[in-house]
Amino acid sequence: MTGGLHLKVVMPSDARYLPVVRGAIGPLAAAMGWDEADSRAITLALDEALANIIRHAYHGRADGLIELECREGADGLEISLLDTGDPPDRTKICARAIACDQPGGLGTHIIKDVMDTVSYQATPAGNRFVATKRLRKTI
């Protein structure tokens, strides 16, 4: 028996790769035990985090790199993203009022709603985003 599931991908900061990652993360979440709706939500949260990096860290440039790591732990999933673009503006994360009719800032609310913990860290290697979601097992 091997350890938990583990996926590591280095992708360009190019939106054309987003469907490729979505195609991998949904089945990975399902293999870890989440149902279809939760797997879809996890996929959405990861997609939003990647889109934020492409838009705000790399300002739409496609020549940056994003390192993605998904790891199955004892009680759930940890997603880690590393980029070397501009650091996130913490004052704008979830600054949008929920349920308002403004078009911007929806992505960070989705990430926060779907995942159990979310953190943004500045590290010597770059900007690190880490999010976890517990798998609630039913007996």
Q: Which residues bind another protein (CB under 8 A)?
A: 15-16, 18-19, 22, 37, 40-41, 44, 47-48, 51, 54-55, 98-99, 101-104, 106-107, 109-110, 113-114
Q: Looking at beta carbons only, is 99 or 139 nearer to another protein?
A: 99
Q: For residue 82, give every residue at least 6 positions away whose Cβ sits within 8 Å of its Cβ, in sequence order, or none.
A: 66, 67, 123, 125, 126, 127, 128, 129
SS3 call for 85 = coil
Supply the minimum distance, in Å, between the C-beta of residue 116 and another protein: 15
Q: Looking at beta carbons only, is 68 or 72 nearer to another protein?
A: 68
CA–CA separation, 23 and 124 (whole Å)? 31
Q: Looking at beta carbons only, is 34 or 72 nearer to another protein?
A: 34
Tokens of 105: 């800032």
